[in-house]
Amino acid sequence: MDTSITDGGSFNASMPTSPGSMINQYKFDEEDEQEDPGAKDIFITVDNPESHVTTIETFITYRVLTKTTRSEFDSSEYEVRRRYQDFLWLKGRLEEANPTLIVHPLPEKFVMKGMVERFNDDFIETRRRALHRFLNRVSEHPILSCNEDFKIFLTAQAWELTSHKKQGPGFLSRMGDTVRAVAASVRGVKSRPEEFNSMQEYVEAFSQKMTSLDRITQRIVKEEREYLEELKEYAPTYTLWSGSEEELAEPLKGVASCVDRCFQETEEQVRQFSDTLAPALHEYVLSAETLKAVLRRRDFIQAELEAKNEALAAKRADRDADPRERGVVWQSLLGKDPEEARQQRQQRLTGEIHELKEEIDKLEDRMEWANNALKGDWSRWQRSMRTDLKEVFITTAQKNVDHYEKCLAVWESFLLSMRSEVGDINQPSSDDS
């Protein structure tokens, strides 16, 4: 972790003083494998969802608790309440300020599948966990965590946040951005660097795979739930039977109890799938969409740059062109002196060319910044994807092992009780798998 970025000192988080140097340092940091956990200096929790009812709407707010030793924060502890819309706003601001950085995804606005209501407890809990992860990931990001809006989000009281939100770039300027983006996407990128092409391919494939895994996991949860329904009906048949028997009553009750215990263990196992694995996979489905958007935004910048370069070339060609090929005849028809007209045009073009060159310089800086930011964040993203998914797969596998071990113990204790009743029982040869 590059400590110079988190060093509060003279650093102003909202405006990088030297974008080039900062990004270059960020790029070198992609060699670091692990971020030092001991260096974590900000802890954020999202909890305590509460319902708010107004005349117009009902919504949920969450408590956001921040504890930090960072010097850019005036205090070491903050407690605020935020609603989902506020998170959306923050994400938007982070992406605007850093269009080619990869921001951790937010949970979706509402769930389409099934009959989940917005105020359903499970839904709120899943969302709360995702919001918690979101803020923590942002706080761990070397550049994003220094963002001024992020700080305000964590610290400002509700009315302060509302007024700050109003100060942001207005509707018109956001419209302008959208128009430019659309124009850029229509224009397309002429020569995308190879590494971004392979990123694009990877992201397409990754997105597909994550979507599949997400769907498969949902399906497993559904099948397991239906299995549990049937299992619930199965155990009682043994209990019922035991009521009609004498000698067999004990073994039958034993089997009933085993099936019942396994039922409970399976409920646990399903919970792991639906509470841990499914949300993790789903988050990476959303993350893939973020990656696509980031690549698109990078492309926009490049498309703009290419367009401007083309315009520059055209104007230069225009300026250096043979005056006879130009509309001198037209000018003379209007009664202008050809030589004067030509000089006027030359001057105008030179001015325009100069302006264009300045714009292109700025754009080229921006392009370099964006490309480096993306490259740096790309390896960062790959590392955390690997860590996250590896961890959740290992946990799930372990949970499954635990489940089977518990069920195994249940049936073995049943056999033990059977053995102690009679003495010697012959075991079938198919005992050991």
Q: What is the contact surface with another protein in residues (CB under 8 A)?
A: 202, 205-206, 209, 212-213, 216, 219-220, 223-224, 226-227, 229-231, 233-234, 237-238, 240-241, 244-245, 247-248, 251-252, 254-255, 258, 262, 386, 389-390, 393-394, 397-398, 400-401, 403-405, 407-408, 411-412, 414-415, 418, 425-433
The DSSP H or E segment spanning 67 is strand 58-68
State the nearest-atom distance from the C-beta of 137 to another protein, in Å.
20
What is the secondary structure of 399-415 as a DSSP string? HHHHHHHHHHHHHHHHH
State the nearest-atom distance from the C-beta of 250 to another protein, in Å.
9
State the nearest-atom distance from the C-beta of 251 to another protein, in Å.
5
3-state helix, strand, coil in the chain (%, to 5): 70, 5, 25
Q: Which is nearer to another protein, 221 or 349 (CB)?
A: 221
Q: Which residues contact 270 (CB under 8 A, 6 or more apart)?
A: 221, 224, 225, 228
Q: Where do we find the tokens 């605020």? A: 80
Q: Which is nearer to another protein, 123 or 414 (CB)?
A: 414
State the nearest-atom distance from the C-beta of 268 to another protein, in Å.
14
Check if the beta carbon of residue 373 is closer than 8 Å to that of residue 100: yes
For residue 351, is it left (φ>0), alpha (ψ between -120 and 50) or beta? alpha
State the nearest-atom distance from the C-beta of 244 to another protein, in Å.
5
Q: Which is nearer to another protein, 99 or 254 (CB)?
A: 254
Q: Alpha-carbon distance 418 to 242, whole Å? A: 15
Q: Which is nearer to another protein, 220 or 349 (CB)?
A: 220
Q: Which is nearer to another protein, 72 or 204 (CB)?
A: 204
Q: Which is nearer to another protein, 363 or 392 (CB)?
A: 392
State the nearest-atom distance from the C-beta of 169 to another protein, in Å.
37
State the nearest-atom distance from the C-beta of 30 to another protein, in Å.
14
Q: Alpha-carbon distance 283 to 107, whole Å? A: 7
Q: Which of 227, 98, 74, 91 is nearest to 155 (CA)?
A: 74
State the nearest-atom distance from the C-beta of 371 to another protein, in Å.
21
Q: Which is nearer to another protein, 353 or 389 (CB)?
A: 389
Q: Where do we find the tokens 């070491």? A: 76
Q: Which is nearer to another protein, 54 or 433 (CB)?
A: 433
| The pair of three-digit structure tokens given for residue 238, joined into one six-digit string | 């043994």
State the nearest-atom distance from the C-beta of 315 to another protein, in Å.
44
| The pair of three-digit structure tokens given for residue 416, joined into one six-digit string | 């033990």
State the nearest-atom distance from the C-beta of 125 to another protein, in Å.
25
State the nearest-atom distance from the C-beta of 330 to another protein, in Å.
59
Phi, psi angle pair for 77, to nearest 5°: -145, 135
Q: Which residues of 182-207 are buried (b: 16+ CB within 10 A; e: fewer)?
A: eebeeeebeebeeebeebbeebeebb
Q: Which is nearer to another protein, 121 or 230 (CB)?
A: 230
Q: Which is nearer to another protein, 251 or 338 (CB)?
A: 251
Q: Alpha-carbon distance 94 to 105, whole Å? A: 12
Q: Which is nearer to another protein, 180 or 219 (CB)?
A: 219
Q: Which residues contact 308 (CB under 8 A, 6 or more apart)?
A: 356, 359, 360, 363
- Reduce the secondary structure of 247-276 to three states and give it as a string: CCHHHHHHHHHHHHHHHHHHHHHHHHHHHH
Strand order from edge to edge, sheet including 42-53: 42-53, 58-68, 77-83
The rounded radius of gyration (Å) of the Cα atoms in the chain is 32
